[in-house]
Chains A and B, each alone.
Chain A
Amino acid sequence: MFSNIIETAFHLIFTLDKDLLEIISLSLRVTMSALVISIIISIPFGAFLVFYKNKFQSAIILISNTLMGMPPVVLGLIIYTLVSKKGIFGFLDILYTPTAMILAQTLLITPIIISLTYEEVYKKNKEINLLLDSLNLSNFVKLKTLIYECRFALVTVTLTGFGRASAEVGAVMIVGGNINHFTRVMTTAIAFETSRGSIELAVALGLILIFISLLITLLIRSFRRLK
């Protein structure tokens, strides 16, 4: 039976099954959108925190570190209450849409990217701050230099964010609703297909997720070497 399931799963992958491709395509669109939004906000902000020391800095880092470990279902629940019809953002009418899923994934990975960026830039600043001070540079130029100097580490940070977002199921299930052909992504599809006994598609999607995870790990390893 097990070999049949695997065989069918590979058949779905190699015949480029339409449903499978649709789910993968939406998953990648949602995750990539969340990742792009998150890195645009988080990388400059994480680096900025290294420089502009004030009483809020340690509080922001503490909050960010705490949110890193936030259970995705709780985050999903919070977003649900905010964007549901009776929520304060209900007028946006984004519940059960890919937009809500992008929002959930963005909020999930933003604290992770902020915290990891802060750590990387902090370490690099300790390493080269005397040189930057010696050159009498403005804080903005220092910030740009530090982000560039951390480029390989920040690619690793980005990939970590991608891995976290693509593997997420709880929040996107709550705010996306797992609607077929509309908000069904790989993780929610695996949960759904398994629950209704259609294990082949779930296994095929699982194999693809494992492949993506392997790809990310290999990329992180190679960027660590470059660093």
Chain B
Amino acid sequence: MNIFPLNIKNLNYMSKDKKILKDINLITSEKKITIIAGNNGSGKSTLLKILHGIIQHTSGTINWGEIPVHEVRKKQSMVFQNPILLNRTTFENIVYVAKRKNIETNESVDKIIKQLNLESIINIESKYLSGGEKQKVAIAMSIISNPKIIFLDEPTSQLDPVYKNEIENIITSLSEKNTKIFMTSHDIAQINRIGKEIIFLDDGEIIFHDKVKDFINEKGNSIIRNYVNYG
């Protein structure tokens, strides 16, 4: 299933008479981690949700290689900034997703639990988990179905350095196993550590789309320069 290139043409999104995304045009074949960055309110989370299909864009087209959008949708998952878990144990949360995705639960769930070191919290109700633990469970739920694409909306923004490092390692390892990652982040050090390419949005428009190292060294655009210097 070749999802590349991702081709976005004239994409617009309006909410309550406000243009959130303005004429987004983009072609990318980057297979590892694409960072979507921008100041607050620039539209990065909205773009992520539109790519995932949980928000419908107002106009424009999105094409994933030659694959029909509804087929790609089945191969995607998303992790949110505030991890959303069901009011159940860690195990039951993972099993819930596995069943909805028609996955043979026993082996796959055990594998994910080991992969993400969730053994110690497997029988704990989600409401008693720490922020980092919740985020790990949310990632486990998102990867149980072996998705081709994962969207991560600031997955480490509320985590301490230890959990941040652990989650980054998980994300990097997923990208190395041919999972395409789209991730929003404000953390320049993190973007530099794990990002391969970056899409930078300002007020709903793409003002930069290239390699992360070029973004870090960008001198011409004052918005990007400020973002990099203060990020």
Contacts and interface: CB of A to CB of B under 8 A. Distances in A.
Given A130-B80, A131-B80, A137 B100 contact: yes
Contacts of B80: 130-131
Interface in A115-144: 127-128, 130-131, 133-137, 141
A131 B137 CA distance: 13
Given A134-B78, A136-B73, A141 B100 contact: yes
Contacts of B124: none
A149 interface: yes
Contacts of B73: 136
A25 interface: no
A135 B85 CA distance: 12
A130 B46 CA distance: 12
B87 interface: yes
B52 A134 contact: yes
Contacts of B54: 130, 133-134
B144 to A, nearest CB: 11
Nearest to A133: B54
A128 B97 contact: no
A145 interface: yes
Interface residues of A, number: 13
A128 B83 CA distance: 10
Contacts of B86: 128, 131, 145, 149
Nearest to A124: B87
Given A136-B73, A136-B74, A149 B87 contact: yes
Interface of B: 52-54, 73-74, 77-78, 80, 84-87, 96-97, 100-101
6 contacts: A127-B84, A130-B84, A131-B80, A134-B77, A135-B100, A135-B101
Given A130-B54, A141-B100, A145-B86, 12 more contacts: A127-B84, A130-B80, A130-B84, A131-B84, A133-B54, A134-B54, A135-B97, A135-B101, A136-B53, A136-B73, A136-B74, A145-B96
